[in-house]
Amino acid sequence: MEIVFKDTSIDPTKHLDEVPASWFDEAREAIEGTSEGVARLRLHNKDLEDEIRDALANRIVVEVTLVEVGPDGVRFTLLSSARANPPTR
């Protein structure tokens, strides 16, 4: 299992060299809970929840997708996919 942060762009040269810390903060709050103790991750399956928590700590991927609108519709093209490390606290 991986946590995947997806970013879309109309810029065909876009590449994320550094992932915004706010993305990690939002994922951490959703999975581990807020400072007030509110956790949004409630799957009622401890093994799956533990696997998701482990993925947050060890397996994060960032994908950048190009969005193009043409006469025949919208096209999505993966520009990059790379591992990302959470910022140190």
**Cβ neighbours of residue 66 closer than 8 Å, sequence gap 6 or more:** 8, 9, 10, 11, 12, 14, 76, 77, 78, 79
Convert the pLDDT of each residue in 34-73 to its tens digit.
677 676 788 889 899 889 988 988 899 999 999 999 999 9
- pLDDT band, residue 26 (cuts 50/70/90): confident
Give the residues across from 83 on adjacent strands. 61
